Chain A
Amino acid sequence: MIQLNSTNLNRQPSDVQEMIIPVQTDVTAIDGSVQRNFIQNKYAATMKWSMLQPADYQQILGFITATGIVNYYNNLSDYSGGILQFNGLATWKEQSYAPGAGAVRDLEVTVRQI
């Protein structure tokens, strides 16, 4: 079950991609050798919804626009321990919809750990 800001979602996303983002830079030597300078890993999660009803759509937008920082929680994560929780910054992609048609939309939200 995925929660945003400690609140259950009206609709769970239909697709979730959780990622580890390493903060690192590789240096390539003249002979092709590589050395990696690493600082730390960060997490990110991309959630996708299809055909969200307006109320559900507005709930999710409310989470990601209200405070700037979003708390992501998933107790069914595949990562070690089964729980992934972090504070992050959200980016999202909204989809167009046909005026006058049924007001349902797709939505994609990515939360990147701060």
Chain B
Amino acid sequence: MQAVSPTFSGAMNAPWRQLDFGVLISWNKQVASGINYFTIGQSVIGGTDIIATSQPGTIAQANAYAYQSIPASGVVSWETSLRLDQYPYGMVQRQANVVLNNAGEQYLPASGTQFGPSQLPGRPMIISAGFGQETIPMFTGFSDTPVNDIKARTTTLHGYDAITYINSFKSTATKPFVNQTVNTIIAAGMAEMGFGANQYVLELSLNTTIPYLDPYGQYWGQIIQQLCEAEAAIFFADEGGILHFWNREHFSNNATPVYTLTYSNMENLSQQTTSIINSVEIQSAPLSLLSGVQNVYSLNQPYYIQAGSYSGINAYQNPSVESNTAMWVTSGVRQNQMAASGNWALSGTQVIYSGVPVRDVNGNIYYNDGASGGGGLYHFQGSISAQLKVYAERGTAFFLQLIEPSNVGNSPIVFSNSFYTGIGAWQTVGFTYQFSNYSNVFFNLGDVRVTISGTHTGNYDYNRGFIVDAISDFMTASYFDGNTPNTGVNTFSWSGAANNSASIMGAIPQYLAIQVNLGFETFSLVPPVASGLNAANIAAQQSFFSFSSLSGTGGIFGTDLTANMALQAYSVSGSTAWLIWQNTGTTQAYLTNLQLYGTVADSPSNSIDETFSDATSITAYGLNPSNAGQVVNINNNFVPTATYAQSLAQYLVSNFKTPYLRHTTDNYAIPPLQFGDACTLVNRDTGESRVAFLMGIVNRMDKDASFKQQLIFQERTIQNYFTINVSTIGGPSVIAP
């Protein structure tokens, strides 16, 4: 039950109640002014500064947005709902519907002042309700795109809470877990999804440690759902957006009733029995890390890599003023170039790389296919997040544009910014570009262009040395640099109009990036080494590779070109590995041998299969009558051992083999009541007072001051489990199964 003031409580229970509510929406989804993000060395731990999420624009930032309040006259009705379905565990999602008054047509395109923003999905939304001037949260989440009812002159927003976000979040950045607790795993997932530690509360997991989990490529919602099923736990977001993980003992540990419902505050009461679980089969094939090293991949097809090629920048100069200026790019070698002081301006478009490999958010690598003159065509969807690193030799200011994709459509600018960087300092500028508008269009990712321009008026060294150590997946740095400082009073300019232009060429190495499917869930790879065509000298269980020409004197593989190939990077996630080589030579080559060894996770040869049934219950009620007479089957690889599987099956059967009462009430609306609350229900007809847990809740307020609440309560076994240093030996507490 949400905490409320005595004033609120008094107003809530009075026979005459003045309703209040609020609907807040952040139409523009902008961070509120005055929001300060936590800064190490400046912010106070426990203070008001919030942790900047790594996932901006998501529900993880719900407490940071600037919200606009919809006036009460603008709301026709609102409703929130949440319910745990048939099985007593899993993830529970809260939803909302807000019907807005659109008589003024503000949400329609013709005259709608709010039309544009209101058509966008994912608008942060908060609903609160209460009495007098005091309200408490009813819902925190995001809205979906609205539905306009022209005849009724209403606009309906459907809202969903953080569970939807978690369900659709695919893990890409969390490392594999080996023998970690469920709490550790969920906390890591929360961090990857951008939730701060004050945005979730995790009860202690009752599962044993999870032997192995690589979340890469899996949806966190699916992982958490499975973790919940493996220990009959519950995961949900409360009205304020705080996420909760409840272990299966939560209800027994929180069984003190917080509110009493009687015939004096219930409009209606209906009762039925809960689902019966009297036979459970649990199957599992848990992954665990194997000792030793296995062969995880053998090359089954050659891969082609182009010869190194050259590209460069056109630098323009005005020889009437300054003749000793030039500008070029090379691969990783700093060049002294342009003279230095006085008034100047420069511009130019630089192809930093042709054929660079780019990895998208899903880990897929896109790379040069050798076509289109070194650029290559790539099929790319999704978004790219990367960083430009710029290094100033002597201090300067720049304007950078990163243009991507080039020569397609309207050539949108990915990133554009002016910035200053101190002398000898790296400036890192991050950007994200979403390619969703160009789905199914081919882009030339090979031409990542940087346009550099700048102006200066003065008579001091304002030199332009800088390094573009571009996108994080790019392998090497390229340099631009100024030449020896000129202390004279010279005036020169570089401008877009070519005047005595010169193309200065720099070497652009070529890359080969491949993605291979491994035979195992692989935890780590033995670092690959260059073997050459003669792999006989390679030690056992050593990853290695070799390159050669197509034909030559070295046999069917031709000339050994392995020495020209530098393994720039490799990584492994799950059963997929990525490797990137740079061809530093001027000869095309083929990857002709690649053997990878690594540490792997695998399932046991004999998977777990445990069943527990209660014959008395089956005789009395039949086999699992709520499950169509079938054994409840839980197939979950997070059940680590047979002993644990038996324990979980026993828990489910012993707690749900007997039908309990499910109570559905229509009652005076009590806004503070929350999912999981224990309440006392007094039935005057039977004379019984029964304690039951709130498993479903619907709140609805209408324009006619109707405030309705429907609650679904379920009775459960309340069992005190033995807790060391709390329970007494010989007391009523029992050992948890």
Contacts and interface: CB of A to CB of B under 8 A. Distances in A.
Interface of A: 23-25, 27-31, 33-39
Contact of B705 (A30, A33, A37): A37
B268 interface: yes
B266 A37 contact: no
B411 interface: no
Contacts of B16: 35-36, 38
Given A23-B705, A30-B267, A30-B269, A35 B15 contact: yes
A35 B265 contact: yes
A87 B623 CA distance: 67
Chain B interface size range? 20 to 34
Given A37-B17, A38-B17, A27 B705 contact: no
Contact of B265 (A25, A33, A37, A39): A33
Contacts of A37: 17, 19, 669, 705-707
A27 B668 contact: yes
Nearest to B73: A114
Given A23-B705, A31-B684, A39 B18 contact: yes
Contact of A27 (B262, B267, B269): B267
B361 to A, nearest CB: 47
Contacts of A28: 267
B124 to A, nearest CB: 26
Given A25-B705, A35-B265, 5 more contacts: A30-B684, A31-B264, A33-B15, A38-B17, A39-B705
B267 A29 contact: yes
A53 to B, nearest CB: 36
Contacts of B303: none
By DSSP majority rule, is chain A's interface helix, strand, loop, or mixed?
strand
Contacts of A34: 15
B704 interface: yes
Contacts of A29: 263-267, 668
Contacts, number: 56
Contact of A30 (B268, B702, B704): B268
Interface of B: 15-19, 72, 262-269, 668-669, 684, 702, 704-707
A27 B262 CA distance: 14
A25 B706 contact: yes
Contact of A36 (B15, B72, B264): B15
B706 to A, nearest CB: 4
Contacts of A33: 15, 263-265
6 contacts: A25-B707, A29-B265, A30-B267, A31-B684, A37-B705, A38-B19
B10 to A, nearest CB: 14
A35 B263 contact: no
Contact of A24 (B263, B269, B668, B705): B705
Nearest to B264: A33
B111 to A, nearest CB: 16
Nearest to A36: B16
Contacts of B18: 38-39
Contacts of B267: 27-30
A76 B526 CA distance: 95
Contacts of A31: 262-264, 684
Nearest to B706: A25
A25 B669 CA distance: 12
A30 B15 CA distance: 15
Contacts of A25: 702, 704-707
Nearest to A28: B267
Contacts of A23: 704-705
A29 B268 CA distance: 7
B15 to A, nearest CB: 5
Contacts of A36: 15-17
A24 B18 CA distance: 9
A39 B264 CA distance: 22
Q: A-B pairs with the 3 shortest C-beta distances?
A: A31-B263, A30-B263, A25-B706
A36 B706 CA distance: 9
Contacts of B266: 29-30
A33 B268 CA distance: 12
A29 B17 CA distance: 15
A36 B17 CA distance: 6
Contacts of B269: 30
A29 to B, nearest CB: 5
Contacts of B704: 23, 25
Contacts of A35: 15-17, 265, 668
A30 B264 CA distance: 6
Contacts of B19: 37-39
Nearest to B13: A35
A23 B703 CA distance: 8
A25 B668 CA distance: 11
Contacts of B263: 29-31, 33
A51 B669 CA distance: 52
Contact of A38 (B264, B684, B702, B705): B705
Nearest to A38: B18
B54 to A, nearest CB: 43
